[in-house]
Homo-oligomer: A and B are copies of this chain.
Amino acid sequence: MHATTNSAITAARASMAMRLQPVSIAPAPAREADPLDRLGAGVKFEKNRTIYFEGDAAEHCYRVKSGTVRLCKVTEDGRRQIAAFFTAGDMLGWTDHGFYGFSAEAVTDVTLEKFSRARVDDAVKASPPLGRRILTLLSTQLASAHDHLLLLGRMTAAERIASFLLGLVRRQHKGGSIELAMCRKDVADYLGLTVETVSRTMSALKRKGIISFAEPEYVQLNQCGALERLAMAA
Protein backbone atom coordinates (compact mmCIF):
# COMPACT_ATOMS: atom_id res chain seq x y z
CA MET A 1 0.00 0.00 0.00
CA HIS A 2 2.66 2.46 1.00
CA ALA A 3 4.82 2.86 -2.09
CA THR A 4 7.76 4.45 -0.33
CA THR A 5 11.00 2.92 0.85
CA ASN A 6 12.04 3.29 4.44
CA SER A 7 15.14 5.16 3.49
CA ALA A 8 13.05 7.70 1.62
CA ILE A 9 10.98 8.24 4.72
CA THR A 10 14.05 8.50 6.87
CA ALA A 11 15.57 11.06 4.55
CA ALA A 12 12.36 13.03 4.55
CA ARG A 13 12.19 12.96 8.32
CA ALA A 14 15.71 14.14 8.66
CA SER A 15 15.01 17.05 6.35
CA MET A 16 11.82 17.83 8.20
CA ALA A 17 13.58 17.90 11.48
CA MET A 18 16.05 20.32 10.00
CA ARG A 19 13.34 22.72 9.07
CA LEU A 20 11.38 22.66 12.29
CA GLN A 21 12.41 26.25 12.49
CA PRO A 22 12.27 28.60 9.53
CA VAL A 23 15.36 28.07 7.53
CA SER A 24 18.02 30.21 6.01
CA ILE A 25 17.88 31.39 2.47
CA ALA A 26 19.91 29.08 0.23
CA PRO A 27 23.45 30.33 -0.15
CA ALA A 28 23.96 32.36 -3.28
CA PRO A 29 25.50 30.36 -6.12
CA ALA A 30 29.24 29.96 -5.65
CA ARG A 31 31.25 33.10 -6.39
CA GLU A 32 28.56 35.42 -7.71
CA ALA A 33 27.46 38.48 -5.85
CA ASP A 34 24.12 38.02 -4.15
CA PRO A 35 21.72 40.22 -6.10
CA LEU A 36 20.04 41.08 -2.82
CA ASP A 37 23.21 42.62 -1.45
CA ARG A 38 22.87 45.66 -3.68
CA LEU A 39 19.30 46.25 -2.58
CA GLY A 40 19.42 46.03 1.16
CA ALA A 41 19.75 48.77 3.70
CA GLY A 42 20.99 47.93 7.18
CA VAL A 43 18.59 48.66 10.03
CA LYS A 44 18.65 47.93 13.73
CA PHE A 45 15.92 47.34 16.29
CA GLU A 46 16.25 47.18 20.05
CA LYS A 47 14.96 44.23 22.01
CA ASN A 48 11.15 44.13 22.05
CA ARG A 49 10.71 46.81 19.39
CA THR A 50 8.22 46.10 16.65
CA ILE A 51 9.63 45.80 13.14
CA TYR A 52 6.24 45.89 11.48
CA PHE A 53 2.66 45.53 12.64
CA GLU A 54 0.03 43.10 11.56
CA GLY A 55 -2.18 45.06 9.19
CA ASP A 56 0.56 47.40 7.98
CA ALA A 57 1.07 47.73 4.25
CA ALA A 58 3.67 45.14 3.31
CA GLU A 59 6.15 47.41 1.59
CA HIS A 60 9.34 45.83 2.82
CA CYS A 61 10.87 42.51 3.54
CA TYR A 62 13.86 41.81 5.72
CA ARG A 63 16.77 39.49 6.13
CA VAL A 64 18.15 38.88 9.61
CA LYS A 65 21.85 39.59 10.03
CA SER A 66 22.04 39.07 13.77
CA GLY A 67 19.70 38.55 16.68
CA THR A 68 16.32 36.86 16.83
CA VAL A 69 12.94 38.01 15.53
CA ARG A 70 9.50 36.67 16.39
CA LEU A 71 6.45 36.61 14.12
CA CYS A 72 3.33 36.95 16.22
CA LYS A 73 -0.26 37.92 16.56
CA VAL A 74 -2.17 39.00 19.66
CA THR A 75 -5.93 38.69 20.08
CA GLU A 76 -8.11 41.41 21.55
CA ASP A 77 -8.14 39.68 24.91
CA GLY A 78 -4.37 39.30 25.01
CA ARG A 79 -3.79 35.73 23.87
CA ARG A 80 -0.70 35.59 21.72
CA GLN A 81 0.57 33.08 19.18
CA ILE A 82 4.11 33.11 17.83
CA ALA A 83 4.29 31.60 14.36
CA ALA A 84 8.07 31.54 14.00
CA PHE A 85 11.42 32.70 15.26
CA PHE A 86 13.91 34.00 12.73
CA THR A 87 17.68 34.15 13.14
CA ALA A 88 20.69 35.09 11.03
CA GLY A 89 20.10 34.37 7.36
CA ASP A 90 16.32 34.00 7.61
CA MET A 91 14.05 36.17 5.55
CA LEU A 92 10.74 37.57 6.70
CA GLY A 93 7.98 39.87 5.59
CA TRP A 94 7.56 38.46 2.13
CA THR A 95 3.87 38.38 1.41
CA ASP A 96 1.80 38.84 -1.70
CA HIS A 97 -1.19 40.24 0.09
CA GLY A 98 -0.56 43.91 0.52
CA PHE A 99 -0.69 43.72 4.31
CA TYR A 100 1.26 41.80 6.88
CA GLY A 101 -0.80 39.10 8.54
CA PHE A 102 1.44 38.85 11.60
CA SER A 103 3.61 41.39 13.40
CA ALA A 104 7.37 41.04 13.54
CA GLU A 105 9.19 41.97 16.76
CA ALA A 106 12.77 41.96 17.94
CA VAL A 107 13.31 39.26 20.57
CA THR A 108 16.84 40.51 21.15
CA ASP A 109 18.58 43.54 19.72
CA VAL A 110 18.69 42.75 16.02
CA THR A 111 20.32 43.97 12.85
CA LEU A 112 18.44 43.46 9.61
CA GLU A 113 18.77 44.18 5.96
CA LYS A 114 15.67 45.93 4.77
CA PHE A 115 14.46 45.53 1.18
CA SER A 116 11.82 47.42 -0.70
CA ARG A 117 9.32 44.91 -2.02
CA ALA A 118 9.01 46.81 -5.29
CA ARG A 119 12.75 46.65 -5.85
CA VAL A 120 12.99 42.99 -4.99
CA ASP A 121 10.15 42.34 -7.40
CA ASP A 122 12.12 44.10 -10.12
CA ALA A 123 15.25 42.18 -9.26
CA VAL A 124 13.30 38.96 -9.47
CA LYS A 125 12.09 39.86 -12.93
CA ALA A 126 15.68 40.48 -13.97
CA SER A 127 17.10 37.42 -12.25
CA PRO A 128 15.13 34.16 -12.38
CA PRO A 129 17.50 32.41 -9.95
CA LEU A 130 16.57 34.98 -7.34
CA GLY A 131 12.93 34.14 -7.93
CA ARG A 132 13.72 30.51 -7.34
CA ARG A 133 15.49 31.29 -4.12
CA ILE A 134 12.49 33.10 -2.79
CA LEU A 135 10.31 30.24 -3.87
CA THR A 136 12.51 27.80 -2.00
CA LEU A 137 12.35 30.07 0.99
CA LEU A 138 8.57 30.17 1.06
CA SER A 139 8.38 26.45 0.46
CA THR A 140 10.63 25.86 3.45
CA GLN A 141 8.66 28.18 5.65
CA LEU A 142 5.43 26.53 4.59
CA ALA A 143 6.77 23.07 5.43
CA SER A 144 7.91 24.41 8.76
CA ALA A 145 4.48 25.90 9.47
CA HIS A 146 2.85 22.57 8.65
CA ASP A 147 5.06 20.77 11.14
CA HIS A 148 4.15 23.45 13.65
CA LEU A 149 0.46 22.71 13.03
CA LEU A 150 0.98 19.09 14.02
CA LEU A 151 2.77 20.23 17.15
CA LEU A 152 0.02 22.64 18.19
CA GLY A 153 -2.88 20.43 17.18
CA ARG A 154 -1.79 17.06 18.45
CA MET A 155 1.23 17.02 20.72
CA THR A 156 1.42 16.98 24.52
CA ALA A 157 3.34 19.59 26.49
CA ALA A 158 6.36 17.31 26.90
CA GLU A 159 6.41 16.49 23.20
CA ARG A 160 6.20 20.16 22.28
CA ILE A 161 9.11 21.09 24.54
CA ALA A 162 11.21 18.19 23.27
CA SER A 163 10.55 19.11 19.63
CA PHE A 164 11.35 22.72 20.34
CA LEU A 165 14.66 21.97 22.01
CA LEU A 166 15.68 19.56 19.27
CA GLY A 167 14.76 22.13 16.64
CA LEU A 168 16.99 24.67 18.36
CA VAL A 169 19.94 22.34 18.80
CA ARG A 170 19.84 21.53 15.09
CA ARG A 171 19.85 25.18 14.10
CA GLN A 172 22.67 26.26 16.35
CA HIS A 173 24.85 23.22 15.80
CA LYS A 174 27.03 23.53 18.83
CA GLY A 175 26.52 20.00 20.05
CA GLY A 176 24.19 19.53 22.97
CA SER A 177 24.22 23.04 24.40
CA ILE A 178 21.81 25.71 23.30
CA GLU A 179 21.13 29.30 24.08
CA LEU A 180 17.51 30.42 24.32
CA ALA A 181 17.35 33.92 22.94
CA MET A 182 13.72 34.17 24.00
CA CYS A 183 12.08 34.20 27.41
CA ARG A 184 9.76 31.50 28.75
CA LYS A 185 6.68 33.48 27.71
CA ASP A 186 7.90 33.51 24.11
CA VAL A 187 8.51 29.77 24.23
CA ALA A 188 5.04 29.27 25.69
CA ASP A 189 3.38 31.38 23.01
CA TYR A 190 5.28 29.53 20.28
CA LEU A 191 4.24 26.15 21.69
CA GLY A 192 0.65 27.05 22.53
CA LEU A 193 1.19 26.58 26.28
CA THR A 194 1.43 28.78 29.38
CA VAL A 195 4.66 29.90 30.99
CA GLU A 196 3.90 27.71 34.00
CA THR A 197 3.52 24.59 31.91
CA VAL A 198 6.74 25.33 30.02
CA SER A 199 8.57 25.85 33.27
CA ARG A 200 7.14 22.72 34.92
CA THR A 201 7.84 20.57 31.88
CA MET A 202 11.42 21.76 31.63
CA SER A 203 11.93 21.19 35.34
CA ALA A 204 10.62 17.65 34.92
CA LEU A 205 13.09 16.99 32.09
CA LYS A 206 15.83 18.40 34.27
CA ARG A 207 14.88 16.18 37.21
CA LYS A 208 15.10 13.17 34.88
CA GLY A 209 18.56 14.24 33.80
CA ILE A 210 17.55 14.56 30.16
CA ILE A 211 18.48 18.23 30.10
CA SER A 212 20.19 20.55 32.53
CA PHE A 213 20.44 24.28 33.05
CA ALA A 214 21.60 26.62 35.78
CA GLU A 215 20.42 29.85 34.19
CA PRO A 216 17.12 29.57 32.33
CA GLU A 217 18.63 30.68 29.02
CA TYR A 218 21.45 28.18 28.70
CA VAL A 219 20.24 24.62 28.30
CA GLN A 220 22.32 21.49 27.91
CA LEU A 221 20.77 18.48 26.18
CA ASN A 222 22.21 15.43 27.93
CA GLN A 223 20.14 12.73 26.28
CA CYS A 224 19.05 13.70 22.79
CA GLY A 225 17.84 10.15 22.30
CA ALA A 226 15.33 10.49 25.09
CA LEU A 227 14.19 13.82 23.69
CA GLU A 228 13.76 12.32 20.24
CA ARG A 229 11.69 9.52 21.69
CA LEU A 230 9.51 12.14 23.32
CA ALA A 231 9.25 14.29 20.23
CA MET A 232 8.33 11.19 18.24
CA ALA A 233 5.18 12.15 16.41
CA ALA A 234 5.73 11.30 12.78
Contacts and interface: CB of A to CB of B under 8 A. Distances in A.
Interface stretch (A5-13, A28-36, A39-47, A178-186): A5-13
Contacts of A97: 12, 15, 19, 139-140, 143
A172 to B, nearest CB: 21
A102 B139 CA distance: 13
Contacts of A189: 153
Contact of A55 (B9, B128, B131, B233): B9
Contact of A138 (B76, B138, B233): B138
Interface string A133-156: 011101111110111111011100
- The copy count of this chain in the complex is 2
Nearest to A2: B53
Given A55-B12, A100-B12, A125-B128, A148 B147 contact: no
Contact of A142 (B11, B57, B141): B141
A56 B192 contact: no
Given A99-B11, A233-B75, A149 B81 contact: yes
